[in-house]
Structure 1
Amino acid sequence: MTELVLREDKDGLAILTLNRPDKLNSLTVGLFQQLRQHISAIRKDDSVQCVILRGAGKCFSAGHDLNDISEGEEVPSRGWHSETLRMMEKLPKPVIAAVHSHCYTGALEVALAADFIVAADNTKFGDTHAKWALTPIWGMSQRLPRRVGIATAKKLMFTCETVKAEEALRIGLAEMVLPIADFQTGTETLARQIMANSAFSHAANKRLLEATDADPLDAGLIWEVMENEGTGPDMHDRINAFTKK
């Protein structure tokens, strides 16, 4: 079977690579099936502390394979792609989308399902659903406005314009921009910085943020107090190591 999504493990860091470089990593049902398998395996793998999702070759991904769409691709269920991305979003480990060059439409929906986006300085983002008389079904209408605000989301979706990395950073679509020459090293350094902190806290914080997203402040504060998961098994070791410096 052709490996459409590669997995590489580096001391607790799982790197998933979209692997159709000859097709600009355009997204097919087969690629999503393999992505879903990796997500399921990582959820059960306690050795994984952080995940990086990236693309092989020239770009992250040019988006949903238009040939697949026009030929009437067969999916297990209507919401199957969206469900797969939701599975990734709910992983109890930080997930970084490492995006370089093209990141359009379906590819942007994939990247938005990560915890945050790190962009290379040559990246261009865009939502072109309206260009092809399509409507989003993988999460664009929900995740994009939560990142950039509803008015900016409307502008991007209505105009189908592309946004360069620095503008993406300014509007909150990306959280960091790195030079393309140092992109892989810089992204992995960021992942290691995250991994130096408590995996227990990361999982608990993700659940807390997820549960209270868009709640009124008072409701969120009550949830934080009542549903707080307490301290992790590594708390004493971490504090003792710090105080003995």
Structure 2
Amino acid sequence: MADAELLVEVSAAVATVVIRNPDRRNAMTLAMWRQLPVLLDHLEAEPGVRALVLTGADGTFCAGADLSDLDELLSTGDASVAVAAEERLAAFAKPTVAAIRGACVGGGCQLAVACDLRIAADDARFGVPPARLGLVYPAPTTRRLARLVGPAAAKHLLFTSELVDVERALRIGLVDEVLPGVDLAARIDRLTATITERSQLTVAAAKEIIDGRVDDDRVAWWYGQVRASGEAREGVTAFHERRPPHFAWTPPPGR
């Protein structure tokens, strides 16, 4: 499948990763699952990247994992390359946004849920199909879905394997915003522009704390960064001077 690939573009401090597999409605192949963590490692280390957008080519987000790779995925369970890619995406140190059109099913939904925010066009459809296939959804993936939408909604998705429309996805918290497809790209641009203009210290600390990846020492480290960086001083001064703040903090090497 020579056309199955992940494409990357960086513009205005935002990296966009595009899932492309035109013959399979952007289903993720084993090679694509393996490629994603490598791309994320590179983009996370790039100081010019402040946010990441994950989307699909040609009006479809991702129709799931390529089932021709099923035997290998089944043999590895929670140690599969799909779970490894999901976990790496969830742990990405910078804000991540899923821009969703069309089908967002199975492995596609898995990747969208691993993002920080999900913005959907009004034609988006969501589904978690393992009960239709006789599979056990990976434990980390199941827990992440339940944390996002709640136990009852997660059970409904998993027990029925039904596709849900974007209105229901919004009600249960599976997506954060819904808008007409023609407006999706502009909304993603505005959202990521806002995020990248904010204090990256605040954004990075908030992401770690909300995701439960900090202990007391790490929280103390973040407060130390506030004191040392001058971010708060700049923010308050800019507020009083009625001008946009000029935040300059960047993550220390090897943090």
3-state SS of 2:212 partner: helix
Aligned residue in 1 for 2:145: 144
Picking from 231, 240, 245, the partner of 2:237 is: 240
Deviation at 1:73? 8.3
SS at match of 1:211: coil
Deviation at 1:2, TM superposition (A): 5.8
| Deviations 1:25-72 (CA, angstroms, capped at 9, x unpaired) | 101111112211110101211111111000001300111111221587
User: CA offsets, 1:113-148, max 9 Å, x none?
Assistant: 101211111000011101010111274311111111
Structure-to-structure mapping, 1:6-17, within 5 angstroms? 6-17=7-18
Aligned counterpart, 2:253 = none
Give the alignment's TM-score, normalised by structure 2: 0.84
**Within 2, Cα distance between the matches of 1:182 and 1:5?**
24
SS in 2 for 1:52: strand
Query: 64-73 or 161-170: which moved more?
Result: 64-73
Amino acid at match of 2:148: R
- Per the alignment, residue 112 of structure 1 pairs with 113
Q: Report percent identity of matched pairs.
A: 29
Q: 1:226 to 1:205 in 2, by over 3 A?
A: closer
**By how many angstroms is 1:12 displaced?**
0.5
Match of 2:54 in 1: 53
Structure 1: runs of 5+ lacking an equivalent: 214-221
Q: What does 1:131-170 correspond to in 2, within 5 Å?
A: 131-137=132-138, 139-170=140-171
Which position in structure 2 is the counterpart of 1:63? Answer: 64
Note if contact 2:3-2:22 (Cα within 8 Å) is conserved in structure 1: no
CA gap 1:85/1:203 in 2 versus in 1, 3 angstroms: same
Task: Say which of 222, 226, 247 aligns to 1:229.
Answer: 222
Find the aligned partners of 1:193 and 1:176 in 2 and give their Cα distance. Answer: 16
Counterpart residue number, 1:88: 89
* TM-score, reference length from structure 1: 0.87
2:169 touches 2:175 (CA, 8 Å); kept in 1? yes
Q: Greater CA deviation, 57-66 or 77-86?
A: 77-86
- Stretches of structure 2 lacking an aligned partner (at least 5 in a row): 243-255
* 1:216 counterpart residue number: none
- Distance in 1 between residues matched to 2:165 and 2:203, nearest whole Å: 30
> 2:4, 2:26 within 8 Å by CA — same for their partners in 1?
no
User: What is the alpha-carbon root mean square deviation over aligned residues?
Assistant: 2.5
SS at match of 1:63: coil
